[in-house]
Structure 1
């Protein structure tokens, strides 16, 4: 049985829109930084930052980003290192790399003007999918463009009792049908924001505030007392645990050697500590790159979680006996007391911050 076979009919579209927008007018968010001076560029940056990240976390990052890159031209002209530096701590760094690539595409292919005439053209840019493109168009231009981000999936799944994981094609198709049904041709920016606000502030993943919801009497999940059943989670797989050694090679001035990671892959383009599979490999690297260095302490391992695996990191220190070793291309002596503007992987930043307290 497909989701559309078992689901009740959608609510009357006009009824849904009226109730939702009335709720939004009284309780919705309208003072967020990216809601002021709305342009396709500002809305785009905010939408990318908000992927997988809470609004409260994004606000400060967005404001710093706008202060440094007020328009798409300045972002396109920047070095990736600076973009990644401003993204440090926000996570999911592929977003920052795609943001930079897309900015250059907009400048080179569209003369600095975002192709907001249709979803297809906008979603062809790096890092922009169908829902993000719809949100940018609706928020920045007021044109009609349905969205289906995580918050909206949760609202629609619960309201209509749509079972199954939204990543399944049949479930996703059903949710897009509902999003299309309800999206109006008027007040499109407010409607889009209202849908996101509903999921973020009322129809939350845990402990939804059902009694404050304008659809409390219409919601299939609430009537059944099964709010947290929807949407169903992705089928779980065992999360593998990987291991790595991170070397903190420290010179007499307290500087730490960093290496830039390859543009693709784990922490792509960010600066990090030299990594090794085992201690023998690490010692061989030291003999080759920093002969005469003194091997230091082996610090407490810790685990950093990614989407598909967990990484156990064991930091080890070594000290140069005198001076600093020469640096090759893609290496940098980093002074924790006078840090350079480099994009750092979160666990590397934590280790460098901890090193500062020891100096």
Structure 2
């Protein structure tokens, strides 16, 4: 075992985090935890992990689940394509692998939503195979230890770090090494203000020796964030119902439910929305009263900045010309709804019930 791996594993034995998915070598459980923790903090993801495993304790149960139920359980985690990919991957396991998770790295890569990192994590932890699992923490540790100036997200950087990490994985304990470097990056070699003087790798870390720790990892410029302006119509009907529609197409929140939406490419004043072609089409045969318009609500997604406005509308008479359908308020939270809309409706419904 190389010196780097020895130091990390020794540190991990004394300092590693106690996490529920580390108490098993079951590939299904490890897979669930890895998918949930993509783009999610452990503090938030742990509760979702417990709920998911309780609802779908094995891959067979998940494979037979309804997509809406999976999305509802996932609600609030964001990046909903992960949930849809999990359902698709579970079906793959049942149909292509006779209900058993693939036992090879290449086999794991065949599953929907499983990339090199996830395949490496499952292969090393569940099956003790010598494959690297290179997440953001591992990239930070390796880039600092070797003072690598190649951007981590570049094509050259991805190849370089993948090869380097693979070389560092000890055949004796690949799973423990991968978990060790993740925890070391999360707890010791942190993004900001790492405690380098107390680090057991300090005398070997080139970034520390050169006094350039904060220069690593090197990153390429971030993609430009796209602004989207969404005007949601909270249409009340007889005070106990509202209109709800299912999102379709290849866009954010696919197959989830939302309030009827008028989207614009620039910010509009409320009076401009009320005069818009979309508004006139929706309420052409209806008499309505606009009770309130919310302040702007900012909701950040990956490479998207949502500027949301909610229009509380009372339908007085006539019909709404929209594919959305009226749903009872008491049933609204049985639907998988984006967190942005759920937060607004929760507040509005509580205020209504308290009046």
Query: Shared fold by TM > 0.5?
Result: yes
Whether 1:283 aligns to 2:279 is yes
In the TM superposition, residue 82 of structure 1 has moved relative to its aligned partner by 0.8
Residue 226 of structure 1: which of 208, 212, 216 is its match?
Answer: 212
Residues 152 and 195, structure 1, Cα contact 8 Å, conserved in 2: yes
Residue 261 of structure 1: which of 247, 257, 263 is its match?
Answer: 247
Residues 260 and 270, structure 1, Cα contact 8 Å, conserved in 2: yes
Structure 1 stretches lacking a partner, 5+ long: 1-12
Structure 2 stretches lacking a partner, 5+ long: 265-272
Q: Aligned ranges for residues 13-24 of structure 1 at < 5 Å?
A: 14-24=2-12
Report the equivalent of 1:128: 114
Whether 1:345 aligns to 2:338 is yes
Residue 289 of structure 2: which of 266, 290, 294 is its match?
Answer: 294
TM-superposition CA deviations, 1:253-309 (whole Å, max 9, x none): 333322111153111111111111352244224325x72332322110112122222
Report the equivalent of 1:116: 103
Q: Aligned ranges for residues 59-208 of structure 1 at < 5 Å?
A: 59-117=46-104, 119-208=105-194
* C-alpha distance in structure 1 between counterparts of 2:174 and 2:224, whole Å: 42
Residues 258 and 334, structure 1, Cα contact 8 Å, conserved in 2: no
* C-alpha distance in structure 2 between counterparts of 1:89 and 1:153, whole Å: 28
Residues 163 and 232, structure 1, Cα contact 8 Å, conserved in 2: yes
Structure 1 moving runs of 4+ over 4 Å: 322-328
* C-alpha distance in structure 1 between counterparts of 2:80 and 2:279, whole Å: 30
Which range moves more in the overlay, 101-110 or 340-349?
Answer: 340-349
Calculate the aligned-residue CA RMSD, in Å.
Answer: 2.2
Q: How many residues align?
A: 342
Per the alignment, in what secondary structure is the counterpart of residue 287 of structure 2? coil
Per the alignment, in what secondary structure is the counterpart of residue 146 of structure 1? coil
* C-alpha distance in structure 2 between counterparts of 1:23 and 1:39, whole Å: 25
Residue 306 of structure 1: which of 296, 301, 313 is its match?
Answer: 301
Report the equivalent of 2:347: 354
Which range moves more in the overlay, 300-309 or 127-136?
Answer: 300-309
In the TM superposition, residue 61 of structure 1 has moved relative to its aligned partner by 0.5
Distance change >3 Å, CA 281–CA 325, structure 1 → 2: closer
* C-alpha distance in structure 1 between counterparts of 2:342 and 2:161, whole Å: 40
Residues 224 and 303, structure 2, Cα contact 8 Å, conserved in 1: no
Q: TM-score, normalised by structure 1?
A: 0.89
In the TM superposition, residue 114 of structure 1 has moved relative to its aligned partner by 1.0
* C-alpha distance in structure 2 between counterparts of 1:246 and 1:23, whole Å: 51
Distance change >3 Å, CA 275–CA 327, structure 1 → 2: closer
* C-alpha distance in structure 2 between counterparts of 1:180 and 1:122, whole Å: 17
